[in-house]
Amino acid sequence: MRLRKIKGADEAVATSPYVIHEDLEAPNDWHKIFNNDHPLHVEIGMGKGRFLMELAKTNPQINYIGIERYTSVLIKAIKKMEAAPLPNLYFMCVDAANLEQFFAPGDVMRIYLNFSDPWPKDRHARRRLTSVEYLKRYDTILSPSGQLEFKTDNESLFDFSLESIKEAGWKLLACTRNLHQDPKMNLGNIMTEYEEKFSAQGNPIYKLIAAR
């Protein structure tokens, strides 16, 4: 993915009080950071933050971490937080390949993956956030009852994800190939910016929920 560099984004992310910067070489003590013992949910590749901020606003009893590796994208979420701060949400500007550095085993109750980069070339399959390699990382940090939720408009990536879940020995709890026409799975659905754009173009939205 190539993104337009935004002047001042690196500095803004580095100094923002809404971004976790400390203890990046060891798991963070999330109870101290949030000053409570609420369950922790994480979105990987959070983009501009619309989905996660809506979740945090409607679920104050849950703590949220949004991971976005690109400062030129994360800066947009930071600006939203500056306009309407949420005490149960923080961001991290890190590579998801290093999740075990930031979360201890069992820290996370739920992981959200929304419209992740499909990495369409076969040689890049290991980089897909639903690859077996990434599922192993999620397995490390998820609690015993933790779940993974994945949404995409890319059918090939969705099929790949279903195969990865099977190969990794995970359980498929729910699955739909047309989320917005599935009353049960669409109940309470929060649309991301991409989801709104793609569905307006008539593209079906695919979703799955999985657990170990």
Tell me phi and psi for residue 90, to 5 degrees: -135, 160
d(CA 43, CA 110): 8
- Sheet bearing 142-152, strands edge to edge: 89-92, 63-67, 40-44, 108-114, 142-152, 206-211, 171-176
Tell me phi and psi for residue 38, to 5 degrees: -70, 155
Catalytic annotation, pick one of 117, 139, 153, 182: 117
What are the tokens at 209? 């929920």
Task: Give the bridge partners for 9, in sequence order.
Answer: none
77, 53 in Cβ contact below 8 A? yes
Secondary structure element (H or E) that encloses residue 30, with its range: helix 30-34
d(CA 69, CA 79): 16
d(CA 32, CA 203): 42
Which stretches does DSSP call E strand in 38-197? 40-44, 63-67, 89-92, 108-114, 142-152, 171-176
| 122 annotated active-site | no
48, 73 in Cβ contact below 8 A? yes
Active site residues: 117
